[in-house]
Chains A and B, each alone.
Chain A
Amino acid sequence: MSSRPGGSQWSGPVLWAVRVLLACFFAFPIVFMLVSSLKPDDQIFADLSSVAAFLPTGSISLDNYRSVFETVPAGRFLLNSIVLSFLTVVLGVVVNSLAAFALSRLRWRESGLVLSAVIATLAVPFETFALPLLWWVNKLPWLVLQDGVPVWTFGWLDTYRVQIIPFIANAFSIYLYYSAFQSIPKELDEAARVDGASWWRIYRQVVMPLSGPATATVAILTFLPAWNQYLWPLMVVQSEELRPVMVGVSYFFQLNVEWGPMMAYASLITLPVLALFLAFQRAFIGSIASTGVKG
């Protein structure tokens, strides 16, 4: 595009060389990881001093992946992460869009207060209250059925719910939905109201279907941190069968396995996200760009 800075100057061969060099700089560790995951340890080290480090040459096999599944409950970790991030995304989309709908469309006395409170929370990083939250969830009650009788239990540590419920409501998702809903003409729901539609129906059949891009953005921005969760599950989950993929890496420190299987595990937990990214890269990059829209 000639209207952008420089136009012709920026498309010179020097700039193409710079772009390619930078592409190598950003891609080489990932290529190295994927390639090494296919090689036995002695070959990984032998290949380091040549281009072979980045090429799938020599004795290539899936042995490292096999050994990962034999020594580590990797399948379980993957399943946990898929379930946890799926539930967080789905519940997050529903809960946050409902709240945004109420804030954008309905008149109720406390809505102004809630909206400004939601915006204020955007500035506080999770790390500032993670440790008080840890103490707090260890005190929270939960209702369970014992022989058909509901009984209160206390402490949420070492459960699935402690990895999902605190991350459902998200101020930024509410804010994104709120901005999207504000741009949908209010005449649409007024007309639907006259036709006798309930607010719930207007939310489901008018506003939400027109907010596909916002839902994609919220889904991506919820999915990435949910899949990458590390600090929180590290603290709240002890049991092996509840662990998500990122905490699973600690296995490799304890068992002192070789680098080949470690690269295989690293590739295994990266490839699903990488595949999603390459398939929907426009939506991914668009969703990150939307975080820059100032609140």
Chain B
Amino acid sequence: MNVPVVQGATGQGRRGRSGRIGRSGRSGRSTEGWAGRVMAAPAVLLLVVFFLVPVVLCFVLAFTNARLVSPEPSTLIGLANFERLLHDPLFWQSLRNTFYFAVVVVPVQSALALVLALLVNGSSRGTNVFRTLYFIPVVTSIVVVSILWKFMYQQNGLVNHLLQAVSFNTIQGADWLANPSTAMPAIIAMSVWQAVGFHMVIWLSGLQTIPGELYEAAELDGTTPWQRFWHVTWPGLRNTRTFILVTITIAALSLFAQINVMTSGGPLGSTSTVVYQAVRVGFQQQETGYASAISLVFFALVLTISLVQRFLTRDKD
């Protein structure tokens, strides 16, 4: 149905150009201006109401004692929320846990994703099947994945049975989620399993931007696959690398659903995270002011880390 229009475009291109010159008068320009504003208005309005206002509110509410539902108007209380934050042991523990999760997940997940991408790079039918299989956990909701692994992580669950089978009964598994020292590693393993396919696809799209001739030339020079990786593939993935680092880090710092479904922050606070604590404070305890202060710290964290990463991985030329 767009074909006639396309033909019209080629046939009347010259007239189109002269037509624009003729329209440069005031009335033509201002209708175009208003059409633009009207068409952009719904999105702009929605972004202002549901993005800009809440972000600004986060900065304002953090300095108040606002509650989610309260008959009294909220009042400014200065830095009291932040002082409370400094003396809140659960906040520090949540911050530590969040860092622990991110520090392990970021390198492990990005490296494993790259290995997977290299394994299924190419266009043969076989690699396509594997790509699909590795990607299945990504389209499975993290909530479903969390219930499923909660079941598998039980003392007499599937994970321990598999560990026994693979190790010929030498490994006796733990009650993974009930133990403060194994709960977070268990959640880390599951989270990597779920999300690694996503970043595999990002690496793959990066790999596809590297021209094939570079590999051919390198091969003619008699290089080993390892040399080709370090001298052709790795430099060619520079932009992809930054993107992957930033997105995995932000996702890791936002850890919430797994905690809420699997452990509720326990045992003994060993899996509480910053976002989990913010939700507990702001939703269950209805303390919007304090939750905004926590969110603000989280915001600062995300911003700092992504800026630092962009700086460290910037173009050095």
Contacts and interface: CB of A to CB of B under 8 A. Distances in A.
Contacts, number: 337
A135 B215 contact: no
Nearest to A268: B144
B257 A132 contact: no
Contact of A288 (B165, B201, B283): B201
A136 B2 contact: no
Interface of B: 1-2, 5-6, 8-13, 15-17, 19-20, 23, 29, 32-37, 39-40, 42-47, 49-51, 53-55, 57-58, 61, 66, 68-69, 116, 118-124, 126-127, 130-145, 147-149, 151-152, 156-158, 161, 164-165, 193, 197-198, 201-202, 204-207, 212-213, 215-216, 219, 225, 228-229, 232-233, 239-240, 242-244, 250-251, 254, 256-257, 260-261, 275, 278-279, 282-283, 288, 291-292, 295, 298-299, 302-303, 306
A114 B36 CA distance: 11
Nearest to B133: A23
Given A1-B122, A111-B40, A274-B140, A191 B55 contact: no
Given A187-B9, A194-B16, A277-B139, A289 B33 contact: no
B66 to A, nearest CB: 6
A252 B143 CA distance: 13
B310 to A, nearest CB: 10
A292 B133 contact: no
Given A98-B43, A231-B279, A292 B292 contact: no
A284 interface: yes
A102 B37 contact: yes
A107 B33 contact: yes
A26 B193 contact: yes
Nearest to A53: B158
Most buried by B among A6, A18, A124, A138: A6
A87 interface: no
A48 B16 contact: no
Interface in A270-295: 270, 273-274, 277-278, 281, 284-285, 288-294
Interface string A63-88: 00000000000000000000000000
Given A106-B36, A127-B295, 9 more contacts: A4-B122, A30-B140, A32-B148, A133-B54, A169-B46, A190-B16, A230-B141, A270-B141, A274-B136
Given A129-B295, A193-B16, A134 B148 contact: no
B295 A29 contact: no
Contact of B136 (A3, A26, A131, A190): A26
Nearest to A291: B202
Contacts of A192: 5, 8-9
Contacts of A285: 131-132, 135, 201
A168 B47 CA distance: 9
A129 B51 contact: yes
A38 interface: no
Contacts of A27: 133, 136
A234 B202 CA distance: 30
B46 A108 contact: no
Interface string A181-199: 0000101101111110001
Contacts of A22: 116, 119, 130, 134
A121 interface: yes
A138 B69 CA distance: 8
A288 B225 contact: no
A99 B123 CA distance: 36
B58 A188 contact: no
A249 interface: yes
A13 interface: no
Contacts of B50: 133, 165-167, 169
A59 interface: no
9 contacts: A32-B148, A49-B165, A95-B42, A98-B42, A125-B251, A134-B283, A190-B17, A195-B8, A209-B2
Contacts of A216: none
A169 B158 contact: no
A269 interface: yes
A284 B138 CA distance: 10
Nearest to A124: B55
A6 B133 contact: no
B32 A294 contact: no
A95 B134 CA distance: 33
B161 A121 contact: no
A281 B138 CA distance: 12
A102 to B, nearest CB: 4
A129 to B, nearest CB: 4
Contacts of A15: 119
Most buried by A among B139, B165, B202, B216: B139
